Amino acid sequence: MRILLVGKGGREHALAWKMSQSELLSALYLWPGNVAMQGLGEYLDLPATADFTELVAAAKRLQIDLVVSGPEAPLSQGLADAFAAAGIPTFGPRQAAAQLEASKAFAKRIMTKAGIPTAAHVLVKGESECREEALAMLQATGGVVLKASGLAAGKGVFVCSTATEVENGIQRLFHSDMSAASDTVVLEEVLLGRECSYFSFIGSHGPLGLGFAVDYKRLEDGDVGPNTGGMGCYAPVPWLPKEAATLVNERVIAPLLQALKAEGIYYCGCLYVGLMWSETKGPQVVEFNVRLGDPEAQVLALYDERDWLALMAASCGLNVPEAALAAACRPPSSDRYSVAVVMAASSYPYGSDAGQAAVLPPQMFSNDVQTNIMTFGANVSRGERDGFATGSGRVLAVSARGSSFAAARVAAYNRVHEIAGLWRSARWRSDIGSRVVKETKELER
């Protein structure tokens, strides 16, 4: 199978690494890719600024069988529609379905219509209506969540329990670079429970569940500080009930697909269900995303040994040999645990300043298939002596697997400390996976 992978972050590095292990792969093209993916595929000879027409022409020339989109932005701009018009399938939904992520207002409407458990909400427009309604909800319930309806890279959400927090959120929503995403703001009740995400490949084959992961959204240890795109992650999620995947399929995914279908919308791609898991109420949906998570993809790629390319191709209706699909559909081994720690520039999540950049040696970025530890690169560029220069934002995700969470965690942090010895201004959380390590030890006792 000839694949074109769209995207340039750590998630796409993980996808490229994973797909490179598939027996179904005959050629992998990366657009635009990043330097850490070297050796996994061929960089497409097209600038990162190319438009869909140029991209489709290149894909036709290269006889691409399947396009895989890592990020949501091109999907919400119609990438899959452009390829469909040229007869090339995309793993990633068309524009109409990508609204599930691009418009929180749309997602809330569909959830309400489908009876999917989620936080009660109101939609508001403009700063003064937002302030008035948010303060009223705060007073009535003791908490309120403010969300930009549009795409804001995970940074447009403010969970508030005081009037000062509401005001700070409003200032960021209406007076910063995310004001375009805040044309409509969703105000929600605060959900209680434990957060996790479920990933499923959806399409003509029916849902193919990848599993659950836990992401750490807040910037600092102890879950404080602003929301980020994700500072670390672990998988699987041992504290969920055994029937968790069945509950999500029954209460969320099946009614969602039915409600979309009733509006003439078909879904093909990875569905990311962000959940608050309540002991009494079970799964409640916080958000939908139309892609894999970042850094969840980096953790799942190590944890899950199955052939994702077989699953993606089957979801898109491509011909996958029966034996390959049957093997890919088996549940993942139950004796593997993964932990990923994100390393970011010191200015993250506010600035685009790379801080004191470092050049890391290329051997830290080995794309070895047999390895139990991977340094997935996002904002890295070519540095001196074939090294990798660190950039801004989230730069790396160090992902390790082991036969226990404790082993995976030690391996990941050993590598993080090795990198931090060279990149002194890096920022990371030191508590990724610590609670789940303690919990699993308690269970063993």
Residue 291: half-sphere exposure toward Cβ, Cα within 13 Å: 30
Q: What is the SS3 assignment for 10?
A: helix
Q: Tokens 């795109």 map to which residue?
A: 229
Q: Can you read off the two tokens belonging to residue 149?
A: 């309806």
In whole angstroms, how large is the CA radius of gyration of the chain? 21
Shortest distance in whole angstroms from residue 147 CB to ligand AMP: 6
Distance (Å, whole) CA 278 – CA 193 = 4
Rounded to a whole number of angstroms, the minimum distance from the CB of residue 197 to ligand GLY is 7
Q: Which is nearer to ligand GLY, 296 or 307 (CB)?
A: 296
**Min dist. Cβ of residue 154 to ligand GLY (A):** 5
Identify the burial level of 113 via C-beta atoms within 10 angstroms of its C-beta, where 0-12 means exposed, 13-18 middle and 19 or more buried. Answer: middle
Which one of ligand GLY, ligand AMP, none interacts with residue 296, CB within 5 to 8 A by kind? ligand GLY
Q: CB nearest ligand GLY: which residue? A: 230
Does the protein bind ligand GLY through residue 72 (CB under 6 A)?
no
Nearer to ligand AMP, 27 or 159 (CB): 159
Site for ligand AMP contains 166 (CB under 6 A): no
3-state SS record for 360-380:
ECHHHHCCCCCCCEEEEECCE
Contact pattern from residue 291 through residue 320 relative to ligand GLY, giving x for each residue in contact according to CB under 6 A and a dash for the rest: --xx-x------------------------
Residue 119 makes contact with ligand AMP by CB under 6 A: yes
* Encoded amino acid at 235, one letter: A
- Residue 229 in contact with ligand GLY, rule: CB under 6 A: yes
| Helix 254-262, helix 104-114: angle, nearest 10 | 100
Of 187-195, 244-252, 350-358, 398-406, the window that binds ligand AMP (rule: CB under 6 A) is 187-195
Least spacing, CB of residue 223 vs ligand AMP, in Å: 9
- Least Cα distance to 398 among 426, 356, 357 occurs for 426
Q: Which is nearer to ligand AMP, 56 or 196 (CB)?
A: 196
Chosen residue from 62, 77, 113, 154 binding ligand AMP by CB under 6 A: 154
Among 190, 247, 327, 410, binds ligand AMP (CB under 6 A): 190
Whether the CB-CB separation of 210 and 200 falls below 8 Å is answered with yes
What the block records as the tokens of 366 is: 């080995």
Distance CA 340, CA 302 (A): 10
Which of ligand GLY, ligand AMP, none is residue 190 near (CB under 5 to 8 Å by kind)?
A: ligand AMP
Residue 195 binds ligand AMP, judged by CB under 6 A: yes
DSSP class of residue 250 equals I
Chain residues that interact with ligand GLY, rule: CB under 6 A: 154, 215, 229-230, 289, 293-294, 296
